[in-house]
Amino acid sequence: MTSLTNNKERIPEEALLHLDQQLCFALYSTSLAMTKVYKPLLEQLGLTYPQYLVMLILWQNDALELQQIGEQLQIASGALTPVLKRMEKMGLLQRSRNPQNERALQIRLTQSGWAMRATAAEKVQVNRHISLKSGMADSEIQALKQELVQLRQQLNKPGL
Q: What is the pLDDT of residues 66-114, one digit of tens each?
A: 999 999 999 998 999 999 999 999 999 999 987 778 788 999 999 999 9
Q: What is the pLDDT of residues 113-152, one digit of tens each?
A: 999 999 999 988 998 999 999 999 999 999 999 999 999 9
The pTM assigned to this predicted structure is 0.85
**How far from 85 is each of 23, 37, 58, 116, CA to CA, in Å?**
35, 25, 15, 18
Q: What is the pLDDT of residues 31-54, one digit of tens each?
A: 999 999 999 999 999 999 999 999
List the domain boundaries for the chain. Answer: 37-124
DSSP-H helix ranges across 7-137: 23-43, 49-60, 66-73, 77-89, 111-118, 126-134
Per CATH, is 37-124 categorized as 1.10.10.10?
yes
